[in-house]
Chains A and B, each alone.
Chain A
Amino acid sequence: MNMNMTGRRAFLRFLLCVVLVSLALTSSAFPQSGGELRFCLRGEPKTFDPLLVDDDSSLSIRYLTGGVLVRANRKTQDLEPELAESWKVSKDGKQITFKLRRGITFSDGSPFSSEDVAFTMQRLMDPALHSSTGDAFRSGGGAVSTKIIAPDQVAIIFPAPLAGLERLFDQVAIMSTHSPKKEAAVLGPFLVAEYKAGSSVLLRRNPNYWKKDSQGRRLPYLDSIRLDIQSNRDVEMLRFKRGELDLINVLDSDYFDRLAASSPGLAHDAGASLDSDFMWFNQVGSAPIPEYKRAWFRSTNFRRAISQAINRDDLSRVVFNGHAQPAVGPVSPANKFWFNSRLKAESYRPDSALKRLQADGFHLKNGALFDKGGNAVEFSIVTNAGNKPRERMAVMVQEDLGKLGIKVNVVTLDFPSLIERISQKFNYEAAMLGFRNVDLDPNGQMNIWLSSAENHAWNPQQKSPETTWEAEVDRLMRAQASTADPKKRKESFDRVQEIASEQAPFIYLVNQNALSAVSSAVEGANPGILSPQTFWNAERLTLNASTRASR
């Protein structure tokens, strides 16, 4: 009897222990809902209309509130189904058919169907809307049409083939055709609850968001996100250190190092980003520069020599404290699919640079370089005032080229004056700027590489290609844009990268690393290189218990 009682008690104790341990494990293993995440927007959002978004702040809000058919995973760079279960691109690359998820509703309760996709595409492609998101879909002269096949199936038909078509839908937030609220009815994890101009934007969780976690709990975990509008980076950093902010999406290398020194766990370096800094020479035929200088700038040997005379390792190490990589070409190595891995960054070879210059008739006299006509080699590099890393790079390039006997004058101008000089009056000799690349696909660079393009910076809007290599680049860029076969596209764009390396119309300098900061209060963050770096998985982010309790 006693033995029985003892055994039963022991069993009950064991059972109690099992229950308690499993409860403890459950609470620690599963993310806890609730709380308010806080971070800063660097400027006022220009619009809440997801189809008119063109600035960083509005992009962030669209990312957090908009529901899209497909989403590019910010870590793997692969496309993943979202509102569309699956999709199929026709062989001719002119049509894409989406199979939609069923049972999804907008934040205001109105149902989501193929009608909404058709409505969104028609509105997006309306020329009167002037949507830059829509511009990416314009492949030919004709109109884009939509065909509703079933409530959960829709086809979008383009007048001409569009390479990398499905990836473009990552930027298209679907709007409701039936909801009277339009912009306020969203399919994303959060919705705009309050906007105080110049102060903050408050996002609350979308109660109708369709995604659930592996335990069947509805996402997002957070109750709300407060986005404070703050352009001053010093203030942003101070507030982050005080615990008032949880994330800093993009950090300068100076701030990064200071934070890493004081709180190593909070600073994240995700490696080389897609952004690049570069310089180029003015090759415009009608530019108001001396003819002998135009001849230098149009010489491949001269451009390659300048490229070889710049110490990119020093730029990365000194200007960015090691948080940058010497740039290889128009595609960052971070772009896993499109980067031409056969290419390497130009190494620092001043001797080789001098030989290239001598091949063009340049010669040294008393430490200064002269061309074959006896003109001293001197040119100015313009860059935008206020961008300290770029100004520092220009100073280092000035020093590097000085060792070759080249005199460089660094001129910093306010941005409007700079743009006027480099894109309208062409009254400059060399320029240094950066390219903030958000598009992985080479189609995003069509407006740079086509010789007829406005952004063909070194010699824009050519009626016909002025050099054979530019004609070849035109052909290759059009070829990659007109086929849906990724292999053929890759071959064409690989060759474009090789030509860019051989001809050096742009002298690529560095790819800055994607630096960010995540507070220890945030759980589940996994900063990446693609924008938005820290909150790309916002729906799965949680806050620790003490932060949840305090907000």
Chain B
Amino acid sequence: MQHERMNAARKLACVVVVAVCAVSLGANWLAPAGYSKQFREAPSAPPSHQHLLGTDEVGRDRFARVLYGTRISLLLAPAAALVSTVLAALVGGLAGYLGGIWLRLARGFTDLFLSLPWLFLLITVRALLPLNVSPLVSVLITFLILGLLGWAASARVLSTSADAMRNSDFVLQARASGLHGPRLFLVHVLPNLKPVLYAQFWISIPVFILSEANLGILGLGVAEPLPSWGSLLRELEGLISFREEPWRLVPLLLLIVVMTSFQMLLTNEEVTA
């Protein structure tokens, strides 16, 4: 019974994620205006027939910006999650498989990596980047940096799983059959790490979306005029009462719904992994 309920919830989550992705991919047709078009006669306008979610402070259509912003965040966050999961698999999986000094070294390195003040480092890295890059390149760089820096927590989990697997019966049997080195890792260890890898991948997506949102709140994320969930969430700064302009909460609600859906997509095994 509980299993069926879980399945239904996962199906619903899947529908939500697919629907949101589909709508955001159709932004070019669905959006009433470009994401950067400024309707200067109607800044901070409430929802109307022309602007379904009103306009932002410089008069840009909020509905269009939500559509384009969703596309950017939902496409690039999984890409960054893929980069970080591959890195985690290489570092954590290999260290766990090799064991001994390699495992101790990898754990020490990941612990050191996790203890660094990442927000400040991200700000520094962003400040070192060239200034004259287009908004599209800036968004790619932002998510690439997130992907390159976000592997450590996943690597730690993977190293523990790989370490446990190193002395398991099937690995011992494979070794006894003459299988060694990279082939043993690629053929037997890595496929058995798949549930953990999937879990880490799905968990990383909301983490990166939120990281980009955090950078956006600091004004250091995606460059103007390109929208992202981070830059859309910045609009909530200074919102004293929800009742005043509830339509400004739409990007936040969308973020919550999508993040919850991603979490629900994980199977029980992946959650426990």
Contact = CB atoms under 8 A, between A and B. Distances in A.
Interface of A: 233-234, 237-238, 252, 254-255, 258, 314, 317-319, 378-380, 382, 385-386, 388, 391-392, 394-396, 398-399, 409-414, 417, 427-429
B121 to A, nearest CB: 12
B240 A234 contact: yes
A263 to B, nearest CB: 14
A3 B133 CA distance: 102
Contact of B238 (A254, A318, A412): A254
A379 B131 CA distance: 9
Contact of A414 (B36, B127, B135, B240): B127
Contact of A398 (B127, B131, B218, B224): B224
B123 interface: yes
21 contacts: A233-B238, A254-B238, A258-B244, A317-B40, A378-B132, A380-B131, A385-B218, A391-B224, A395-B38, A395-B224, A396-B40, A398-B225, A409-B131, A409-B133, A409-B134, A409-B135, A409-B138, A411-B131, A412-B220, A413-B126, A428-B131
Contacts of A414: 123, 127, 218, 220
Given A314-B40, A392-B57, A410-B223, 9 more contacts: A318-B43, A379-B132, A386-B219, A392-B58, A399-B225, A409-B132, A411-B223, A417-B124, A428-B131
Contacts of B138: 409
B169 interface: no
A233 B240 CA distance: 11
A234 B220 contact: no
A391 B219 contact: yes
A396 B39 CA distance: 11
B250 to A, nearest CB: 19
B59 interface: yes
B238 A382 contact: no
A318 B57 contact: yes
A414 B224 CA distance: 16
B44 to A, nearest CB: 8
Contacts of A427: 131
Contacts of A233: 238
Contacts of A380: 131-132
Contacts of B225: 395, 398-399, 410
A252 B40 CA distance: 20
Contacts of A412: 219-220
Q: Which 7 residue pairs are nearest across A and B when measured between Cβ atoms?
A: A385-B219, A417-B127, A412-B219, A380-B131, A410-B224, A318-B43, A380-B132
B269 interface: no
Interface string B188-202: 000000000000000
Nearest to A409: B132
B163 to A, nearest CB: 40
Nearest to A400: B38
Interface in B111-128: 123-124, 126-127
A129 B223 CA distance: 44
A233 B238 CA distance: 8
Nearest to B123: A414
B4 interface: no
Contacts of B133: 409
Contacts of A409: 131-135, 138, 223
Nearest to A414: B123
Interface string B207-239: 000000000001110011100000000000110
Interface in B38-52: 38, 40, 43
Nearest to A396: B58
Contacts of B40: 314, 317-318, 396
B132 A238 contact: no
A255 B238 CA distance: 8
Contacts of B127: 413-414, 417
B223 A318 contact: no
Contacts of B38: 395-396, 399
A412 B123 CA distance: 11
Contacts of A394: 224
A385 B221 CA distance: 10
B237 to A, nearest CB: 7
Contact of A429 (B43, B131, B135, B237): B131
A410 B38 CA distance: 16
B115 to A, nearest CB: 22
A494 to B, nearest CB: 34
A67 B219 CA distance: 42
Interface string B80-101: 0000000000000000000000
Contacts of B244: 258
Contacts of B240: 234, 237-238, 258
A265 B146 CA distance: 49
A411 to B, nearest CB: 5
Nearest to B234: A388
Given A382-B131, A386-B219, A409-B134, A319 B58 contact: yes
A399 to B, nearest CB: 5
Contact of A318 (B36, B59, B132, B134): B59
A234 B57 contact: no
A140 B132 CA distance: 44
Which of B127, B133, B244 has the most chain A CB atoms closer than 10 A to its own CB? Answer: B127
Contacts of A318: 40, 43, 57-59
Nearest to B39: A318
A395 to B, nearest CB: 5
A498 B219 CA distance: 36
Given A254-B238, A318-B58, A385 B220 contact: yes
Interface string B46-68: 00000000000111000000000
A399 B36 contact: yes
Nearest to A417: B127
A111 B244 CA distance: 57
A199 B193 CA distance: 53
Nearest to A384: B219
B72 to A, nearest CB: 17
A447 B243 CA distance: 48
Which of B40, B43, B224, B240 has the most chain A CB atoms closer than 10 A to its own CB? Answer: B224
A396 B134 CA distance: 17
Contacts of A428: 131
Contacts of B36: 399
A16 B245 CA distance: 59
B238 A429 contact: no
Which of A392, A427, A428 has the most chain B CB atoms closer than 10 A to its own CB? Answer: A392
A137 B4 CA distance: 81
A382 B237 CA distance: 22
A394 B57 CA distance: 13
Nearest to B215: A385
Given A398-B225, A410-B224, A388 B59 contact: no
A234 B238 contact: yes
Contacts of A319: 57-58
Contacts of B219: 385-386, 391, 412
